[in-house]
Structure 1
Amino acid sequence: MMRVLHTLVVLALIAAAAVVYRVKYEATRHAEQVARIRLEINREREAIGELQAEWARLNNPARLQALAERHLTLKPLAIPQIHDLRNLPEKPSLDPDPIGTMLEALGTTGVDPTATGSVRPTPVPPPRPQGAR
């Protein structure tokens, strides 16, 4: 009986060692994945920093001014070119009913303006004679 008990305990210890080894291996694998992801995050942050620095350099006002002077034929604004709101033209009047104006222009007189043509009118039945039921 003791021999069977010892054999079961040894088998249980071997199974426990296998489980512990598997858990340790998975933990090591996950730790490597975390380290790899952290490295990728740091690389991306460095790339973002480089792109932000390049963006700041490209949007430097002095650089843009030099490019504008070199490639554009702009002249400074003269005082007579400045106007106030009184010199603006009047806003064109809008037609309050553009569809009605279009219908009038087409000459659709004698047509029911509420009829859309989507529903056919129901025919009215002829009146019944007085004596028949």
Structure 2
Amino acid sequence: MIRLLNVLAIACLVGTAIFAYSVKYETMFRAEKIVQLRDQLQAETDAIGTLRAEWEHVSRPERIGALADQFLTLQSPALTQIVPVTGLPDKGPRQDEIGQKLDALGVQNPTNTPIDPMATGQITPASPATPGSH
């Protein structure tokens, strides 16, 4: 009997040791994962800062003005480009695309919805009975 208890105690001791080591290594793994995620977050934050600085550099008004002067040469319109109002094409007929889609779906067709007689006035509500009017 005592040997059985000794074997059980040793088995429990080995089981708890295995469990403790597994918890320890799981904790170490999670701690390393947290450090990796913090490093990744810092790298992303630095990249965002770099991109913002680049955007500020690229979108400087004096730089955009110089590029506009260099590449956007505005010319005065030629006389052949000016057209009188009568030379413009007429507007096309207005089309109701949503209405056409609703017609295609059959939404505007009458339905078999029952009619409420109270709403149409066919039945009037009864007046409330006064006490003692029997």
State TM-score, norm by structure 1.
0.55
Alignment of 1:45-124 (within 5 A): 45-74=45-74, 89=85, 92-95=90-93
Pair 1:25-2:25 in alignment: yes
**C-alpha spacing 1:68/1:29, structure 2 compared with 1 (3 Å):** same
- Unaligned runs of 5+ residues in structure 2 are 77-83, 96-134
**C-alpha spacing 1:96/1:67, structure 2 compared with 1 (3 Å):** closer
| Per-residue deviation, residues 57-96 of structure 1 (Å, max 9, x unmatched) | 10111110012223332379xxxxxxxxxxx937724246
Aligned residues: 87
- Unaligned runs of 5+ residues in structure 1 are 77-87, 98-133
Distance across 2 between alignment mates of 1:43 and 1:12? 46
Identical amino acids, percent of aligned pairs: 35
2:85 aligned partner, one-letter code:
P
Distance across 2 between alignment mates of 1:96 and 1:65? 42
Q: Which has the larger radius of gyration?
A: 1
2:73 aligned partner, one-letter code:
T
**C-alpha spacing 1:66/1:16, structure 2 compared with 1 (3 Å):** same
1:71 aligned partner, one-letter code:
F
| Per-residue deviation, residues 3-25 of structure 1 (Å, max 9, x unmatched) | 32122112101111011101110
**C-alpha spacing 1:68/1:5, structure 2 compared with 1 (3 Å):** same
Distance across 2 between alignment mates of 1:72 and 1:94? 34
User: What's the RMSD between the two structures over aligned residues?
Assistant: 2.8
1:39 aligned partner, one-letter code:
D
Q: Runs of at least 4 residues of structure 1 off by over 4 A?
A: none
Distance across 2 between alignment mates of 1:58 and 1:96? 44
State TM-score, norm by structure 2.
0.55
**C-alpha spacing 1:74/1:93, structure 2 compared with 1 (3 Å):** closer
Distance across 2 between alignment mates of 1:25 and 1:93? 76
